[in-house]
Structure 1
Amino acid sequence: MNTKTKLSLLILMGFLTITSCGKKETVPAEESTEVTETSAEGVQPAVTEENVLIIEGNDQMQFNTNELKAVAGKPIKLTLKHVGKIPKESMGHNLVVLQEGTDQSAFALKANEAQATDYIPESEKASIIAHTKLLGGGEEDTIEFTIDKKGSYPFICSFPGHVAMMKGVLLVE
């Protein structure tokens, strides 16, 4: 397949998905959280150094949020939960955090050809900050990474055709 055909197919899949979906599932987004607990004496222990992020993907090709927030220079613990029921061969989801300025469409086209590596193209390793495994319904994966530089880092699902609807931004402040 040439690039024009692939791009046309990707756009058509996104259009069909948008027009064929029924009621949208709305799930409140979970923001970056820092855990603090108060002991019996009322003294607060030190705040954890970690950014804990949770995002869900469903069978309607949607993440439950398109924005995540984290603090620069601190470890990020990101969990992707596939809350659907369809297996990964048909409705697989992953989450790929990309470098600022990465062309998401070009990345997605290369990912379409990378089935053997769960749609993570070897040729684009320099564009990837972190990524989860490819998940099927009911599965989850947690990854840990650190971003030192403040900025807006795009994230996508690189399963073929999903980038049209499953994308967002990780804001590192």
Structure 2
Amino acid sequence: MSTDHPLVVLVGPPGAGKTTVGGLLAERLGVSLRDTDADVEAAAGKEVAEIFLTDGEDHFRDLEAEAVASAVATHRGVLALGGGAVMRPATRELLAGLPVVFLDVALADAVHRVGLDAPRPLLAVNPRKQWRTMMETRRPLYTGVARTVVATEGRTPEEVTLAVLTALELTEA
């Protein structure tokens, strides 16, 4: 299963299950998972929420764009992108033609998974309203970069993993 790009790229909002499903996909496919939020945190030496607070969203998005570009160029396993990575046109261009899966999540599930008190900078005040507003902006971007959309509502992470494998016609390693 050698490729010159990631085997699977997961996109979606906070709470979609990108990291959880990404881990299961990596395990099933016998490859590693790379999470660009973790890459940003490692490069900055601080958590995403702290970067937002101390350096601002623009600085975070710059770091995120660098992390995505590096991961797309070098990682050959499963790649989970931060929820806002698709906001940058250059990132969307990098994703063109790649096996990108949009994990679509319902508001109720996202709120349950993320939690109302989780350190998500963009969801800090009135998280339900912020999430809806965020999705109005991002949904067209997620669907625009995705080869396929997998709904997560009412599905376990294992069921979502199987749906991704089926949608991308990937056989297990």
TM-score by length of structure 2 reads: 0.27
Q: Which has the higher contact order (CA 8 A, sep 6+)?
A: 2
Radius of gyration: which is bigger? 1
Higher strand share: 1
